[in-house]
Amino acid sequence: MNRFNYSPVIPLLRADLGISNARAGGLMAFFFVSYAVFQLPAGYLGDRFGPRKVLTIGALISIIGNIIFSQGSSFVVLSIGQLVNGMGQAMGWNSAIKLVVSWFPRSRRGTAIGLFITCVTAGSSVGIRLSGFLGDHLGWRSSFIIPSMIMAIIALVFWILVRDHPHERGLPDFQDEVFLEQQIDNDPRSRIAVVLTNRTLWVVALVYFCFVYVQFGCLVWIPSFLKEAYTMSVDRASTISSLVLLPGVFAAPLAGFLSDRYFGGKRKPLILFGMAVLSGSSFFLSFGVNIVLATFLLAVVGLMILIPDVLLAAYPSDIFSRKLSATAMGFLATFTSVAGIITTPVSGKIVDLFHSYGALFFSFGVMALMGAVLTLFINEKGFGKDQGPEDPALISPHRGISAKVNKKTLTIHN
């Protein structure tokens, strides 16, 4: 609600300040600059000090950024607001994923993350709808003040109720990743070096880049597309935009459940499916279809910009266990942030150059197709269980360690 409150009021902001689509997209790029820079440090802090503290501090910083933006009249002040907001938002995603995987067993991780990621759809949907309504009736500045007030209340409730680990509530922590955690503890390299040298994670990062380029591009530009291509009011365009995202509320947990239950913890098949359908839907939207077909295709897009997200977000903990999940997610989120930096101004520039949103959706189709091809190179051998030493996806270079695992015992022989 405090990130995608910007996209519905782009037309109002442009009219008030007299800026181009490319310049309006550039403002969103400032958000992603700081969002990218702080991802890896924020992930490290989440692993080091716990997600509860990092998430709460990030929320407070994001509130300050939105308030600064709401009071800005010059491009410089608006840019500062976006930079501050991006820094605060960077502290959210990585620690949130770590919090989820800390409270659920490995066998239900995809389902848990899927349920959590409904916040992306619900938050984006409500944020877009609320922002468009406020912008039309109270002015675009209110679209940044009121969501900040809501987040302040939620941050207080979060701080009071949430704890980092089950044992802080008198419950036992999960012991389903003992071998992976042992490997991390025995590795002489720094935690960041362990993350940065994993080949599988690099391939996942490239796929995530392609996916988020399309995801963020759609979330930012769909309201403007509906307003300008189908001559709608800002309020109506934001309403339709919010509705087409709602199916993702059901798709996200379903995707996680299917990967856990029917694919044995493997994420690759469903990611490939999601990227392929996203590519095809985007290509169809580039042909300037009527509003009925466009709404249907946007609903399909709304589904597909959630399904791969759930599965890609599960990889850090799949590969590195809970111990390094925030740091690894920070690495992935650095790539997604760079995608956000690129997609917002480039997408605006494409619209300005071609005077058409058809070219924009064609570019989204190409990027999603690239992501589908890269997905084929993800190595999932050993996923869905605590990895043994024979697995090439191991994060430790050590040899001579063997594990014997069953439901009751774990013995490690050096």
Q: Tell me which DSSP letter residue 405 carries.
A: E
Quote the pLDDT of residue 385: 55
Strand segments (E) across 23-170: none
Residue linked to tokens 């770590």:
98
pTM: 0.75
Backbone φ and ψ for 34, nearest 5 degrees, come out as -70, -30
Nearest to 269 by CA among 383, 361, 100, 365: 383
Q: Which of 241, 217, 219, 220 is nearest to 230 (CA)?
A: 241
Higher pLDDT, 79 or 385: 79
Structure-token pair, residue 155: 């941050």
Closest by Cα among 337, 332, 333, 342 to 367: 342
Which comes out higher in pLDDT, residue 61 or 33?
61
| Cα 93 from Cα 55, distance rounded (Å) | 8
Q: Are 92 and 183 in contact (CB under 8 A)?
A: no
Q: Is the pLDDT of residue 411 over 50?
A: no
- pLDDT on residue 383: 60
- pLDDT band at 72; cut points 50, 70, 90: confident
What region does 341 belong to: left with phi over 0, alpha with psi -120 to 50, or beta?
A: alpha
pLDDT tens for 315-345 read 998 888 888 888 898 899 889 888 988 887 8
Question: What local confidence, expressed as pLDDT, does residue 400 receive?
Answer: 34
Question: According to the model, what pLDDT value does residue 51 have?
Answer: 93
How far is residue 152's CA from residue 97's CA, in Å, rounded to a whole number?
21
185 burial class (0-12, 13-18, 19+ CB within 10 angstroms)?
A: exposed
- State phi, psi for 141 to the nearest 5 degrees: -65, -35
Beta carbons within 10 angstroms of residue 173's beta carbon: 12
Give the three-class secondary structure for 403: strand
b/e burial code for range 26-39 (CB count within 10 A of at least 16 → b):
bbbbbbbbbbbbbb
Number of H helices, E strands in the chain: 19, 2
What percent of the chain lies above the pLDDT cut of 90?
31
Pairing of strands 410-413, 402-405: antiparallel
Q: Is the pLDDT of residue 211 over 80?
A: yes
For the chain, give the longest Cα–Cα distance.
70
Per-residue pLDDT at 162: 95
Residue located via tokens 């996916």: 211
Kindly list the structural domains of the chain, giving each domain's residue range(s) and its CATH number in brackets, ordered by start.
Answer: 7-413 (1.20.1250.20)
How confident is the model over 299-307, as a mean pLDDT?
A: 87
Asked if 172 contacts 300 with a C-beta cutoff of 8 angstroms, the reply is no
- Secondary structure of residue 379 in the 3-state scheme: coil
pLDDT of 386 higher than 80: no
CA dist., res. 93 & res. 113, Å (int): 12
- Angle among Cα 203, 319, 274 to the nearest 5 degrees reads 50
Percent of the chain's residues with pLDDT above 70: 92
Separation between Cα atoms, residue 66 and residue 6, nearest integer Å = 10
- For 19, list phi and psi in degrees, rounded to 5: -115, 160
How far is the C-alpha of 262 from the C-alpha of 254, rounded, in Å? 11
Residue-wise pLDDT for 127-185, tens only, equals 888 888 888 888 888 999 999 999 999 999 999 999 999 999 989 888 877 887 787 77
For residue 191, pLDDT over 80 is answered with no
Write down the pLDDT at residue 209: 96
pLDDT of residue 69: 92
Q: What is the DSSP string of 276-314?
A: HHHHHHHHHHTT---HHHHHHHHHHHHHHTTHHHHHHHH
